[in-house]
Amino acid sequence: MQDKSTLQELKNQIVELKKQNEILRLYSSFQNNEEIEKYTHSIFDNMGDAVFVKDDQSRLIFVNDAFCRMINLSRPEMIGKTLAEHVPLVERESFLKIDQRVLTDGLENINEESLTVRGRQTIMISTRKSRFIDSNEKKFLIGVVRDITDRKKSEQILKEREAQFRELNVTKDKLLSIIGHDLRGPFINILTLSELLVEDVEDLDVVAFEQYLGMINSIAKNALTLLDDLLRWAKLQTGELNYKSEKIYLSSTIQEVVARSNSIAKAKNIALNQIKSDNIEVFSDKEMFKTVLRNLISNAIKFTKPGGNIDVYVISKQDQVEITVSDDGVGINEETSKKLFGTSANISSLGTAKEKGFGFGLTLCTEIMEKLGGTIRVESEVGVGSDFKFTLPLKKT
């Protein structure tokens, strides 16, 4: 298949060369023959492609109607000139460099390049340049030019769609991995605990029974939270997650999230503290903000050892606020830190109490922060702990 394509391309190039040589032959012959000149001008002007002929100093000595239309200049404005004064310096140097190379070595040149005449809209062109030497050993350069702007735009659209398709594949793989790890785990735990209840229901006292139910309830809530996060993430991928701006009182909102996370922290004997600050107001999406904070606190609990501490605090910085979730946990090495917030990172690590997780929460946080117009980063040292920081634009009322 490739050999046939190559052969066809060679045939096309041979046809083009023959066409160009015939044009130059005719042009060379009509210079002293008025009748032939009119005839050949008529042929050239009815060609769809833009055609020009230059002398050995890159000065235009002939242009057809299609070239005038493409450049949007009249013949008197071009004949005897190089167009240098009509195009930007970078384009001018490129055009003249190729002209001289073709005139010197005689090798045909096919090039895709930009063309901007007199500051107007830039177009993309494909130019085929070749050399012709007449009977007096005088060198000429003939060019056939095609406007490929629409084609290049279509190619760019195709590239973007291919990139989107690859991203969708990454998203799909990520989603399947999350379902297989994070989401499946809670249901297995619920099933195991409920089976124990069914088997031992007659032997369990009220306290033990309540403990089992409490664990099932806690696991179910976590599973529901993860499912909600998954749905938010899926909507982010499809652009269906609407941003709802509202006034958020940071201190009270953080207190709400900390309170909901405290039971999990206490179960690991971890102190979860909110460092008090002024109740700063921001305008953002409250549910998205709470999702980010909840995931960062959950991540800190997962990687902090029993007896450890987690602090949540806010610092106002000029036109933004920075919220930090700081722990004295196991810490993260530099290589892993660089990969934490990537959609396709696939980082999975067991927590200090062997908690399983696929790192999905940080992916969600990253994409939400992009939606909120903020940033997210981590400062960490192995064996010392981690500070996860995210910012929000500060809008005062």
Do 97 and 165 fall within a single domain? no
Domain that holds residue 242: 155-393
Phi, psi of 251 (to 5 degrees): -60, -50
Give the pLDDT of residue 358.
Answer: 46
Do 143 and 167 fall within a single domain? no
Do 319 and 222 fall within a single domain? yes
Q: Which amino acid is at 197?
A: L
Cα 154 from Cα 171, distance rounded (Å): 25
Of the residues 120, 147, 174, the one at which a domain ends? 147
DSSP 3-state of 314: strand
- Residue 196: enclosing H or E segment and its boundaries? helix 184-200
Of the residues 118, 147, 176, the one at which a domain ends? 147
Do 7 and 66 fall within a single domain? yes
Tell me if 329 sits within 8 A of 305, measured CB to CB: yes
Whole-number Cα distances in Å, 9 to 5, 70, 111: 6, 26, 15
Give the pLDDT of residue 397.
Answer: 42
Q: How many domains does the chain have?
A: 2
Give the pLDDT of residue 309.
Answer: 94
The interaxial angle of helices 34-45 and 2-30, nearest 10 deg, is 150
Count of CB atoms within 10 A of residue 287's CB? 13
Do 253 and 118 fall within a single domain? no
Do 296 and 236 fall within a single domain? yes
Do 49 and 193 fall within a single domain? no
Whole-number Cα distances in Å, 242 to 54, 91, 145, 294, 348: 59, 45, 48, 20, 30
Sign of CA dihedral 354, 360, 361, 362: positive
Do 290 and 388 fall within a single domain? yes
Residue owning tokens 């042929």? 43
Where residue 351 sits, what CATH number does that domain have? Answer: 3.30.565.10
Do 178 and 279 fall within a single domain? yes
Do 212 and 128 fall within a single domain? no
Of the residues 103, 123, 147, the one at which a domain ends? 147
DSSP 3-state of 345: coil
- The ranges of the chain with pLDDT < 50 are 358, 397
End-to-end CA distance of the chain: 67
- Of 129, 125, 127, the C-alpha closest to 152 is 125
pTM, two decimals, is: 0.54
Give the pLDDT of residue 222.
Answer: 74
DSSP 3-state of 48: coil
Structure tokens at 58: 């890159």
Do 37 and 80 fall within a single domain? yes
DSSP state of 102: H
Where residue 89 sits, what CATH number does that domain have? Answer: 3.30.450.20
Strand 376-381: give its sheet, edge to edge: 271-274, 309-317, 320-327, 385-393, 376-381
Do 11 and 137 fall within a single domain? yes
Q: HSE (CB half, 13 Å, CA atoms) of 233?
A: 23
Cα 348 from Cα 242, distance rounded (Å): 30
Tens digit of each residue's pLDDT (9 = 90 or more) over 290-300: 989 998 998 89
